[in-house]
Amino acid sequence: MPRRVRVESPDVFVHPLSYVRAQMGWTYQDVVDVIARRAGNMARRREKAWRWEHWGVVPDRVSQRALAVELGIPEECIDRYPWPQWLPDGDPIRTDFTWNQAGSSKAICDAMECTVTDRRGFMKLTGTSLIAFAQRWLDIEPAELASVLRGGRITEDFVDRVEEGLPRLRLLEATYGGRRSRRLIDAELGMVAEVLENSSYTASLSQRLHGLAAELGRMVGFACFDAGLHTAAQRYWVAAVHASHAAGQRALGANILKSMSLQCHDFGRVREALALARNANEGAGKTTPRVRSMLALREARAHAALDDAVTCERLIARADTEIGRGSRDDDPPWVAYFDEAEFHAQAGICYLDLGDHRTADRHFTRALDQLAPSKVRDRATYLIKRSEAQAGLGAVDHAKELLTTAIPLIQQAPSQRNADRVFAARTGMPLPRRDSHDIDEQLVLLVK
């Protein structure tokens, strides 16, 4: 079996156990040795710990109890939280900031302190706490904006210049991938956070600055998500939702919740994905048809993952109607990526999850035909997904061809999510041994 491909540095914490090992200085062999020492009879094979960390295998109760004792964790935590949630994995992600300008500034500063060095590749904010966070955003109205903060006076020209740089950063992230772009976007967000914290400005400029922080937080969060740094992504997004609220931009907040829903979908936490997508859809407020189409499709994907074909297809039909209405001149800049190609790709993924490979393939074909040449990362994604549809239709040779075509594109625009997709598609294909070896050889290029 080929090893799991990672395009980020090899010390990314892909699982809470990997974080524990890094903190304790343990190898996989050390993990099984300390468990065996406390639990008694147990085969001391390092592969067991590797499978817990990479394959989703759950250790038995005796092993979990022994590890908890070694780490000084009360046994009742094992009963209260399922594996691996009871493992210590550093500071929690805060969601208790107040829903006003001061709370927004604190949320941004908290994210900035933790995320640049945060290498964890797993989600920490899950379950009811994640859903409750989205519900609070939906229910609470923005408080009165403070007119000034201490520090130098900020002019409209300054804010204009920062806003003018957003398209360049969006293009950078979309073209070169999250791994290459996240630090630059983070630096831009840091500058805006410092202005919010230390400068003075009018109430109208305050809204614009918080809107900038929200969009930059969304962008750097997505860059981290794309790079496989999921804890960092969640920290940025929580701060970004607060900032969008302080800015009075509900549609932007909905777009951030949409990204959080997508992350849950990727982790198989589909009910949380649905709750977040619904909150985004219901809380977006008055917005453009294209934004409504995008949000409807995100909710459709959650229903598809739950095998709810009726609701999913109704939402796809609504999205199709909405995207054909209105003028793009009225759209917020952050929805520009959602064009006809992206619509068909998202619809195709819905049908892929529903098992309708023929309809999925038709959508992916249209997406690839309409995709702009500059969107290298998206082309790789669409090719991988179409290869899955072709494999489902029994066209294995064509599926292999599509998959191998995507690999050089991932080298051009590195994306951990696309690397993981290649791995998943490769392992799900009934390929002859020689063909499997050929793809594995190309997969190795992703980590060079």
Q: How much is the pLDDT for 240? A: 94
Give the pLDDT score at 147.
33
Tokens 């409750």: give the residue. 132
The token pair at 413 is 């625009």
Q: Using an 8 Å Cβ cutoff, are 239 and 107 in contact?
A: yes
Whether 155 and 265 have beta carbons less than 8 Å apart is answered as no
Q: What is the pLDDT of residues 131-161, one digit of tens each?
A: 565 555 555 444 333 333 345 678 888 788 8
In the chain, what percentage of residues exceed pLDDT 70? 80
Q: Which pLDDT band, with edges at 50, 70 and 90, does 428 fall under?
A: confident
* Pick from 244, 247, 248, 285: nearest CA to 260: 244
> What letter does residue 199 receive in the DSSP assignment?
-
Would the pLDDT of 315 be above 50? Answer: yes
Q: Which of 54, 176, 8 is nearest to 427 (CA)?
A: 54
By three-state DSSP, how is residue 91 classified? coil
Shortest CA distance to 367 belongs to which of 382, 380, 352, 381?
A: 382
Task: Quote the CA–CA distance of 327 and 341 in Å, as a whole number.
Answer: 17
Treating both helix axes as pointing N-terminal to C-terminal, what angle do 250-266 and 289-305 enclose, rounded to 10 degrees? Answer: 20
Confidence of residue 117 (pLDDT cuts 50, 70, 90): low
Beta partners for 153?
A: 200
Question: Which of 1-5, 6-10, 62-66 ranks highest by mean pLDDT?
Answer: 62-66
In whole angstroms, give the CA distance from residue 182 to residue 170.
11
- What lies within 8 Å, CB to CB, of 64 at 6+ separation is 78, 83, 86
Q: Do 83 and 58 meet the contact criterion of CB atoms below 8 Å apart?
A: yes
Q: What is the DSSP string of 387-400?
A: HHHHHHTT-HHHHH
Tell me how crowded residue 299 is: count the other CB atoms within 10 A of its CB: 25
Residue 45 pLDDT: 77
Q: What is the mean pLDDT of the chain?
A: 81
Q: What is the dihedral of CA 340, 342, 343, 346, to 10 degrees?
A: 160
SS3 120: strand
- Using CA atoms, how far apart are residues 140 and 354, in angstroms rounded to an integer? 36
Among residues 282, 239, 235, 242, the alpha carbon closest in space to that of 258 is found at 282
User: What is the structure's pLDDT at 58?
Assistant: 86
**Contact indicator for 179, 226 with CB cutoff of 8 Å:** yes
Contact 165, 188 (CB under 8 A): yes
Query: Contact, 74 vs 68, CB < 8 A?
Result: yes
- Structural tokens at position 115: 């995320």
pLDDT of 4: 35
- On whether the CB atoms of residues 13 and 122 are closer than 8 A, the answer is yes
**How far apart, in Å, are the Cα atoms of 373 and each of 160, 425, 445?**
30, 24, 23
Q: Which residue has the higher pLDDT, 374 or 150?
A: 374
Sign, Cα dihedral of 438, 444, 446, 448: negative
Tens-place pLDDT, residues 187-220: 888 888 888 887 778 888 989 999 999 999 999 9
Rounded to an integer, what distance in angstroms lies between the CA atom of residue 318 and that of residue 299? 11
Q: Which one is predicted more confidently, 244 or 448? A: 244
Least confident residue range of 118-122, 164-168, 187-191: 118-122
Q: How far apart are the first and last CA of the chain?
A: 19
The count of residues in the chain is 448
| 3-state SS class at 153 | strand
CATH topology of domain 16-80: 434 Repressor (Amino-terminal Domain) (1.10.260)
pLDDT of residue 91: 62
Q: What is the pLDDT of residue 175?
A: 81
Within 10 angstroms of residue 44's Cβ, the number of other Cβ atoms is 12
Q: Greater confidence, 242 or 416?
A: 242
Beta bridge partners of 13: 120
pLDDT reported for residue 1: 31
- Return the domain boundaries, the chain: 16-80
State how far the Cα of 447 lies from the Cα of 35, in Å rounded to an integer: 32
Closest CA relative to residue 17, chosen from 59, 62, 68, 52: 52
Give the residue-averaged pLDDT of 314-331.
88
